[in-house]
Structure 1
Amino acid sequence: MKKGKMIILSGPSGSGKTTISHYLLSKFPELKFSISCTTRSIRKNEVHGKDYYFLSTNSFISKIKKYQFVEWEEVYPKLFYGTLKNEIYRIWKSNKHILFDIDVKGGLNLKKQYPNNSLSIFIMVNSIKILKKRLMTRNQKNSDYANLNIRLNKAKEEKNYAKLFDFILLNIDLHQTKKKAIQIVSDFIYE
């Protein structure tokens, strides 16, 4: 099996990772999206097997015990995310490079395991106030302030890991951020 490359996009919830990952996928036919597993509820317009593999907590824990994940994390209390080993093999078998839209610790775990094959990019915004506004407009339940506060507190913690990534993209102007992401990924893929 020919090993490809990995582009790892990480950052706080609401930083723009998913928007930027979709944009990169539209510009680079040699990239394929790594579908993560999660135990969170499916959101409107998401598709099982396309956006995520939505698993029960018991099923997720069973896969942990069977060492089926290359990385996994309890990102929020009782809310798991992870990447299956067979997802990486599936994409590399198709001679594509892998694009990850992944939590910060998961991204660092991948970078540690595949240091010569990976490019890690941390996406952040310039204030918690902007992040809060983005999260509130994401069609989350207005009454779910506890979840919002958990995500904002986690974002404050995740900013401390930014320096461990290869690049930091400050997502103030989405057009400029996309342009910079194209340049960084292009340099890595075609080096």
Structure 2
Amino acid sequence: MKKGKMIILSGPSGSGKTTISHYLLSKFPELKFSVSCTTRSIRNNEIHGKDYYFLSVNSFIYKIKKCQFAEWEEVYPNLFYGTLKNEISKIWKSNQHILFDIDVKGGLNLKKKYPNNSLSIFVTVNSINILKKRLIARCYKNNTNINTRLNKVQEENSYAKLFDFILFNIDLYQTKKKAIQIVSNFIYGKQSE
């Protein structure tokens, strides 16, 4: 099987990874989104099989034992995320490149496993208050969930230097423009116009 390229977007919750990934998908028809597995609850606007494969904890652990993941991580207690090996194979067989919107450790694990095929981009903001506002805007129901995610930001930010690029999402228009340049250079070996 011919291996394509991987664009890995990682960063703290609320940094804008998903917004940027949707934008990149709209600009690069040769990119295909890798649908990750998670054990978290489905949100109102999400679709199983499109946004994530929503699994029970037991089902996720079964897949771990069967070595079905290219990478997986228990991001919070009993909250797992992972990338299925067959998801990667399926996209590469269709002669497309893969776009990941993935947690920080998962992103680094993919980069380590596919060093010659991958571009890793760490998306972040310059203020914890900005992240807090974005998480509140996502309608998280309780402060515990928000605080758990905010407490993880410092740890996640400590891994930023291990990524190929750090993308500060302060002005979304400029961030999207920079993301296009980085990805275009990786896929085509040149800067976009």
TM-score by length of 2: 0.97
State whether structure 2 residue 103 is matched by structure 1 residue 76.
Answer: no
State the match for 2:97 in structure 1. Answer: 97
State the match for 1:160 in structure 2. Answer: 158
Cα drift, residue 2 of structure 1:
1.0
State the match for 1:174 in structure 2. Answer: 172
Mind listing any 5+ residue stretches in structure 1 that lack a counterpart?
none
State the match for 1:53 in structure 2. Answer: 53
- The whole-number CA distance in structure 2 between the counterparts of 1:154 and 1:186 is 31
3-state SS of 1:70 partner: strand
- The whole-number CA distance in structure 2 between the counterparts of 1:67 and 1:56 is 17
- The whole-number CA distance in structure 2 between the counterparts of 1:152 and 1:171 is 17
Identity of aligned residues (%): 83
Map 1:113-152 onto structure 2 (within 5 A).
113-141=113-141, 144-152=142-150
3-state SS of 1:41 partner: coil
Cα drift, residue 130 of structure 1:
0.7
- The whole-number CA distance in structure 2 between the counterparts of 1:99 and 1:63 is 22
1:149-173 Cα offsets, whole Å, 9 max, x none, are 1100111110000000000000000
- Please provide the CA RMSD for this pair: 0.5
Cα drift, residue 139 of structure 1:
1.5
State whether structure 2 residue 31 is matched by structure 1 residue 36.
Answer: no
**Matched pairs, number:** 189
- The whole-number CA distance in structure 2 between the counterparts of 1:3 and 1:70 is 14
Cα drift, residue 98 of structure 1:
0.1
- The whole-number CA distance in structure 2 between the counterparts of 1:155 and 1:15 is 10
State the match for 1:18 in structure 2. Answer: 18
- The whole-number CA distance in structure 1 between the counterparts of 2:122 and 2:114 is 17
Cα drift, residue 8 of structure 1:
0.1
Mind listing any 5+ residue stretches in structure 2 that lack a counterpart?
none
- The whole-number CA distance in structure 2 between the counterparts of 1:130 and 1:76 is 22
Cα drift, residue 59 of structure 1:
0.2
- The whole-number CA distance in structure 2 between the counterparts of 1:4 and 1:170 is 27
Q: Partner amino acid for 1:97?
A: H
1:104-151 Cα offsets, whole Å, 9 max, x none, are 00000000000000000000000111100110001211xx11111110
